[in-house]
């Protein structure tokens, strides 16, 4: 259940809307997660599978104002940082994250030669606002690892509804990525182009996502989550040979063991 009284820590909005804010009175906190997921997706990747099973490892660790977070439901699947300010309604973090997005070659092995990309290390800031059962989050990140030297700006709005032990939530968000970031993920250099995958240069653009989901505790250590997402891709990447449509949906059911 979410709590908004007193001084609490913020986390990634995808985790907060399901689990709530952390209590500042607890100096050290952490847990590990092992999850199994069934994913139905209509990703616009040539030859991509529509049904996927995955095993994931994640968790969260906080000591005073320092935190490390690995969460598959988050856009930044691994992040660490320092909480610079935490009040009753707003929280500000200095944030470092690892970004590994673009085309997943595991969905189509033919694309592996073109889509193998190094993960970028990003540094920036995050602001989170807690307005009753509504959460807003803003994030700005810059690549500092010289992988693509691009920038990312994200705005997300989420709301939850509690019914007995069921936690229902809805989320909408937008992420702007600079041309350097998107071209690194979806572009094809002339020297690697083929007749099937011609050269392509992506410009900057914004991805939109809408999400509805639920969380239910099966027991003290097992949690069931179900999430439906609709993605709208930027026009800057729709022309890429790796992308066949401008939107797609995913539906994920997950059972997570938390220790």
Those residues whose C-beta lies under 8 Å from the C-beta of residue 38, and which sit 6 or more positions away, are 51, 52, 53, 252, 253, 254
What would the pLDDT profile of 55-69 be if each residue is shown by its tens digit?
Answer: 999 999 999 899 999
Model confidence pLDDT, tens digit, residues 205-246: 999 999 999 999 999 999 999 999 999 999 888 888 878 888
- What are 16-49's pLDDT values in tens digits? 877 777 776 678 889 999 999 999 988 777 777 7
- Give whole-number Cα distances, 19 to 95, 207, 212, in Å: 20, 25, 15
Q: What is the pLDDT of residue 118?
A: 79
Dihedral of the CA atoms 241, 244, 245, 249 (nearest 10)?
Answer: -120
What is the tens place of the pLDDT at every residue in 156-201? 999 999 999 999 999 999 999 999 999 988 888 888 888 878 898 9
Q: Is 43 left (phi over 0), alpha (psi -120 to 50) or beta?
A: beta
Kindly report, residue by residue over 124-150, the tens digit of the pLDDT. 999 999 999 999 999 999 999 998 999
The fold of 8-258 is Porin (2.40.160)
H-run or E-run covering 172 = strand 166-177
Residue 206: CB atoms within 10 A of its CB come to 16
Distance CA 228, CA 209 (A): 10
- For 164: left if phi > 0, alpha if psi spans -120 to 50, otherwise beta; the answer is left
Cα–Cα dist 23/8, whole Å: 5
Of 39, 34, 27, 33, the C-alpha closest to 67 is 27
**What residues does each domain of the chain span?**
8-258
Model confidence, pTM: 0.86
Q: What is the dihedral of CA 100, 115, 251, 75, to 10 degrees?
A: 20
């Amino acid at each position: 259940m979410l709590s908004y009284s007193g001084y609490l820590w913020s986390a990634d909005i995808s985790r907060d809307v399901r689990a709530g804010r952390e209590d500042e009175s607890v100096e050290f906190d952490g847990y590990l997660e092992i999850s199994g997921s069934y994913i139905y997706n209509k990703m616009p990747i040539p030859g991509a599978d529509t049904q996927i099973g995955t095993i994931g490892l994640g968790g969260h660790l906080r000591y005073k104002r320092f935190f490390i977070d690995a969460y598959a439901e988050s856009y930044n699947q691994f992040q660490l940082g320092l909480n610079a300010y935490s009040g009753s309604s707003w929280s500000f973090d200095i944030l470092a994250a690892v970004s590994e997005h673009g085309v997943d070659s595991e969905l189509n092995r033919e694309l592996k030669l073109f889509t193998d990309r190094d993960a970028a290390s990003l540094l920036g800031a995050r602001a989170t606002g807690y307005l009753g059962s509504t959460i807003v989050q803003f994030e700005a990140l810059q690549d500092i690892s010289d992988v693509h030297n691009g920038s990312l700006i994200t705005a997300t709005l989420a709301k939850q509804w509690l019914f007995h032990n069921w936690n229902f939530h809805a989320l909408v968000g937008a992420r702007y990525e600079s041309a350097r970031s998107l071209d690194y993920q979806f572009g094809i250099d002339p020297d690697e182009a083929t007749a099937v995958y011609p050269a392509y240069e992506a410009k900057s653009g914004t991805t939109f996502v809408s999400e509805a989901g639920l969380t239910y505790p099966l027991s003290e250590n097992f949690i069931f989550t179900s999430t439906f997402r609709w993605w709208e891709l930027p026009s800057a990447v729709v022309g890429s040979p790796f992308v066949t449509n401008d939107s797609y949906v995913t539906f994920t059911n997950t059972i997570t063991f938390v220790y």
